[in-house]
Chain A
């Protein structure tokens, strides 16, 4: 170790640790000045908060041609088409990132779909009164992105005139084992050009 100390220029010796410190400092600043999850960005803030990317959600509400507002289910199709951007968006949901994804999503076709995990929820709601808050939302008309190579060709497809997007996280209460949604981005509406 002593040998290296004397033979290596300080710049090269400290180059990599300095890079780590600079990245970590930037990440700390970004978590305070933007909605960056502490888990991401290279600051080693993993396993310290519930607010991980896996516990962040993108809610999408579309406006159909006849002006009706409908919630859109983010299913495997959407995740598969935009895997990296979907993940990066939840990690740091800036207005620009939301807008860019929204503009691409407006190009897709949408079809009506059933509510997500309905069976599970009905069961859960019946058992747990705390979950009743979700009940009304579950019976709305959900839409999903149309899959090109699927059997849904006979379902009338529609384009959305506008999309309202917002990213959410959850707060966890260990005392009553409940999750409460809270927004981590402002709602953004993107219109078809």
Chain B
């Protein structure tokens, strides 16, 4: 049905016919310009800017090598400080470097995107299963109660006074100078938020597992065929609640790199989602 619909929209350009590999590299350059990794911020911004300025830079393997080295420098110097999406951006920079040197850049980007996406989702699921604070919903309940970034959403969902959630954060921060063995303090809770956290926990686990399987196991045809849509569902449902722009954007770039064989409708949606996540 979607295929029929998209065939009836003649104005929809087909990315597959318009060098999508270049679009993937441009989106990556855009991400590096606006969201560079510390401390090689200047190098990444200049490299990204050059790539956006002229096509010859975009496919220059030396420039991608410098970019990947700069991103790796940021990771190596702050190994235990940087977030996981920064590791993912670093891997992706190396994938771009290897791909621009490969005979078929687009296929190489697609391959790396598919495997990297599958692996990072698989690992995320494994961690959630082995850590004992996820399956009972307590981790997300704690996060919604105390994390400033999600306070607006939590307050709206649970109809809780946002001040109570802010107070929870203050309580957590105030533990630092007084922490001692067995110290126990209470937070402001909400039964509605607790229920929502449990539902959200299982939804996240299910969609992450579905995305991981869909990208890693082509033999499961149904999931593999709809992997881009599964990824988009994950991005929309997750990052509306947890607005982590850089993570969402790198996932969108990789999802876009992998979907050259998808219908134009799916490719467009994945492309636009890269920009839409900024408004989440």
Residue positions of A touching B, CB distance < 8 A: 1, 3-4, 7-8, 12-13, 15-17, 19-21, 23-24, 36, 38-50, 54-55, 57-60, 71-74, 84, 87-88, 91-92, 115-117, 120-121, 124, 128, 130-131, 133-134, 137-138, 142, 166, 168, 170, 172-174, 176-183
Would you give the shortest CB distance from B111 to chain A, in whole angstroms? 6
Contact A137-B107, Cβ < 8 Å, known A20-B120, A178-B187: no
Judge whether A170 and B177 touch: CB under 8 Å.
no
A180 in contact with B182 (CB, 8 Å): yes
Q: With a CB–CB cut-off of 8 A, which chain A residues contact B84?
A: 39, 42-46
Residue of B nearest to A55 (CB): B172
How far is B189's CA from A15's CA once the two chains are assembled, in angstroms?
47
Given the interface pairs A17-B119, A91-B80, A180-B183, the reply to whether A4 lies near B107 with Cβ below 8 Å is yes
The one of A8, A20, A142 that contacts B108, using a Cβ cutoff of 8 Å: A8
Known: A4-B107, A44-B120, A131-B185. A117 touches B131 (CB 8 A): no
Count residues of chain B with CB under 8 A from any CB of chain A: 67
The answer, among A12, A43, A57, for a CB contact under 8 Å with B176, is A57
Closest Cβ neighbor of B141 among chain A residues: A174
Whole-angstrom distance between the alpha carbons of A24 and B103 in the complex?
29
For residue B6, give the distance in angstroms from its CB to the closest CB of chain A: 22
Q: A16-B91, A24-B123, A178-B186 are in contact. Are A59 and B180 (CB under 8 A)?
A: yes
Are B81 and A54 in touch, CB under 8 angstroms?
no
A166 CA to B137 CA, complexed, in Å: 29
B226 sits at the interface (CB 8 A): no
Q: Which residue of A lies closest to B194 (CB)?
A: A174
A44/B167 in contact, CB under 8 A: no
Contact yes or no, B170 A46, CB < 8 A: no
Flag if B177 contacts A71 (CB, 8 Å). Answer: yes
Cα distance A25–B66 in the bound complex, in angstroms:
26
- Closest 3 A-B residue pairs measured CB to CB? A177-B189, A4-B107, A130-B186
Also in contact, A117 and B81, with CB within 8 A (given A48-B127, A133-B185, A181-B182): no
Bits for B89-111, please: 1 = Cβ < 8 Å to A, else 0: 00100110010001110011011
B174 at the interface (CB under 8 A from A): yes
**Sample of 15 A–B contacts (CB below 8 Å):** A3-B104, A13-B111, A45-B124, A45-B131, A49-B139, A57-B179, A84-B78, A116-B177, A133-B182, A134-B185, A138-B178, A170-B172, A174-B137, A178-B187, A181-B182
User: Contacts of B172 on A, CB cut-off 8 Å?
Assistant: 54-55, 170, 179
Q: How far is the CB of A81 from chain B (nearest CB, A)?
A: 16
Contact yes or no, B81 A4, CB < 8 A: no
